Structure 1
Amino acid sequence: MTDQPIETRPKRTPGPDQIVTWTHRLQYIAFRFFKALVWLSPLWLMRALGSVFGWCYWAFDKRHRQVALINFDLVFGQAKPEDEKQQEVKKAFIHFGQALMETLWFQRLNTKNHMKYVVIEGMNGFYEALEHGKGLLLCSAHYGNWELLANTLGLLKIPLSVMARPIDNPLVHVEVEKLRTQSGNRVIYKHKSARKVIGDLKENRVVGVVNDQDVHDQNRIFCDFFGHQATATPLPATLAYKFGTPLICGFSEPIGKGRYLLRFSPLIWPDPTSPQEQEIQRITLQLNRELEQQIQKSPTYWLWMHKRFKTTPEGPNPIYQQTRKVE
């Protein structure tokens, strides 16, 4: 069977309007089958399967294991011995597999049962910000189970819009969007986000952004992250400064048996009397510091496989081209 387009429309940005191919259809069938299997299975079984998947990912994907170890070196230096770094990386891969399975399983949660799986700290910031009337910017990371964090807020009737990248498979894209919005949340896709983000803030909604990865956008800035100048998006800080919108950081940390602690920081308020560029740097640095504290507390649950320090002010970081010992 050849992978020929079923439709003749010109190719578009990933999402529901993209060309549908036979490969997309086969992937979609596999996704639907797997989703049904997850929904029919108990959580403990899905976590066990996730552990196996994560272990296989760690064992057979040497390239991403090496990236994770290099990131550990950059973050912790000599503060952690080599054997501990190797074990932490292994646990991070296993957690990633578990979180992947949990994300699908947790879609069955509703307003009656979701509190069995979460403990929440720091919700008052949401109510204070929404009473202020200028929306709220929720800054999170690829840490713990970030999809569960968003779904829980929706079930708590927090008016949340989440920024996301479209799924490359247009059929799976539609299914994933259904999962992300069934708790009442909206999705804003990054390739056409600016106007919608501003509109939602003016509606006094919470806009969630995951801002912990290397940034390729020409408007990126550089900011200290674990002692290294790393790229960052200025978007949250710029919106906060321009519209007087407060920010809050939120992370989900596993606490055992498929349960998570959802912890939210105190509100971060922009200073309208400070010069814009200076204030954007200050806010972005504060967001980085919140994530640093969370990673230092429990490093296992961050997505270490991403080349977070790929770009430096001088250009591409050559460290990822080096060979790192893996065990």
Structure 2
Amino acid sequence: MIGFRLFLLLDSLLMALPARWRKNFFIFLAYLACSLDRKRKRIIHQNLNFAFQEGLSDAQRTEIERYCYKNLALNFLQVMENRRNTQADLRSKVTFKNKEVVDRLLEQKKAIIFISAHYGNWEIGATALADLITPTLSIYKTLNNKAFEPYLLEARTNHRMDMYEKSGALKHLSRALKKGESVSLMIDQASNARSGVKVDFFGHPTYHSSTPAILSRKYDAPIVGLYIYTDDEENYTITFEEPIEVKGDDEASIVAATQRQVDALEKVIRANPKFWFWCHKRWKEEYKEIYAG
């Protein structure tokens, strides 16, 4: 608790500074972390080797490694800012591409299953979606330090996001969709045979969450992917993918819909690989050996 109170003091001090100073402070922290954290850097390179084989130069790998730390720092900064940001603040920073896809579904009173990934500034992406497009229900994983949990949740619930803990979350997702409300899910984390189906991801058979496809089939809710991009880390563009709908009642339909989601995700990552969360052991369930050593 003392640590959290000290953090709140730091939060107040940082938020009193000009935005540029705050950003430079977090970039400096990212630089330090990248310099000192050998374990996480090893995971990044293990993932890159597995995904791209020899398809990246040393310079590209170094750029991706450094940006992983920077992007994590900027996302944490975004959590701080989201606790104070207004709808107008988000509107000044975020624009939407292919928004007509979502507008059409909302006009039809459709519940939508939004899917995204830990790609780019996902914190501003999630809050902009809920605050500027449509309220959403989302899932979070309980933090090891419980004192920080209300802080994190406030940064999201302030922007029309209902948050539920991952354990037992399926009933909340189902209830929302049944009422015609929209939900948002992050789909890029490690999965297994209990909660996913096997698809092809970066040329490797990989378990991937089948939850979006199962919910889509049950509640006739289209799946819409969205990914956020920036050129300057000040202005952001959220692009909506074309809707995916699951019509069949068989397992093959679930697998096919999940593969379409993965294909879109992989295409986005390949276009700008530095924005993805490479420091996560994405393939730990299927290929433990790549993380050895």
TM-score by length of 1: 0.84
Of the two, which has the highest radius of gyration? 1
User: Matched residue of 2:142: which SS?
Assistant: coil
The aligned residue for residue 84 of structure 1 is: 60
- 1:154-207 alpha-carbon deviations (Å, 9 max, x no partner): 321512111111223333212222221011221122102111111111222111
User: Matched residue of 1:268: which SS?
Assistant: coil
AA at the equivalent of 2:283 = F
CA distance in 2, matches of 1:167, 1:93: 20
Does residue 39 (structure 1) correspond to residue 15 (structure 2)? The answer is yes
The Cα of 1:144 is off from its aligned counterpart by 0.9
Going from structure 1 to structure 2, the CA distance change for 1:44 and 1:96 (only over 3 Å counts) comes to: same
User: Matched residue of 1:191: which SS?
Assistant: coil
CA contact 1:88–1:299 (8 Å) conserved in 2: yes
The aligned residue for residue 60 of structure 1 is: 36
Tell me whether 29-38 or 66-75 shows the greater mean CA deviation.
29-38
The Cα of 1:63 is off from its aligned counterpart by 0.9
Does residue 276 (structure 1) correspond to residue 247 (structure 2)? The answer is no
CA contact 2:118–2:276 (8 Å) conserved in 1: yes
CA distance in 2, matches of 1:143, 1:220: 21
The aligned residue for residue 118 of structure 1 is: 94
Return structure 1 stretches of 4+ with deviation > 6 angstroms: none
CA distance in 2, matches of 1:112, 1:87: 33
AA at the equivalent of 2:267 = Q
Report sequence identity in percent.
Answer: 20
Which structure dedicates a bigger proportion of its chain to helix?
A: 2
Going from structure 1 to structure 2, the CA distance change for 1:120 and 1:256 (only over 3 Å counts) comes to: same
User: Matched residue of 2:5: which SS?
Assistant: helix
The Cα of 1:289 is off from its aligned counterpart by 1.1
Matches within 5 A, 1:68-217: 68-156=44-132, 158-216=134-192
Give the aligned CA root-mean-square deviation in angstroms.
1.8
The Cα of 1:42 is off from its aligned counterpart by 2.3
The Cα of 1:229 is off from its aligned counterpart by 1.4
- 1:234-283 alpha-carbon deviations (Å, 9 max, x no partner): 11110111121100111111221422111111111222xx3421111111
Q: Of 227, 235, 247, which aligns to 1:259?
A: 235
Tell me whether 158-167 or 139-148 shows the greater mean CA deviation.
158-167
Matches within 5 A, 1:11-30: 25-30=1-6
Going from structure 1 to structure 2, the CA distance change for 1:278 and 1:39 (only over 3 Å counts) comes to: same
Going from structure 1 to structure 2, the CA distance change for 1:35 and 1:284 (only over 3 Å counts) comes to: same
AA at the equivalent of 1:304 = W
Tell me whether 38-47 or 284-293 shows the greater mean CA deviation.
38-47
The aligned residue for residue 244 of structure 1 is: 220
Does residue 307 (structure 1) correspond to residue 278 (structure 2)? The answer is no
AA at the equivalent of 1:301 = F
Going from structure 1 to structure 2, the CA distance change for 1:257 and 1:179 (only over 3 Å counts) comes to: closer
CA distance in 1, matches of 2:89, 2:59: 40
Tell me whether 168-177 or 238-247 shows the greater mean CA deviation.
168-177
The aligned residue for residue 231 of structure 1 is: 207
Say how many residue pairs are matched: 293
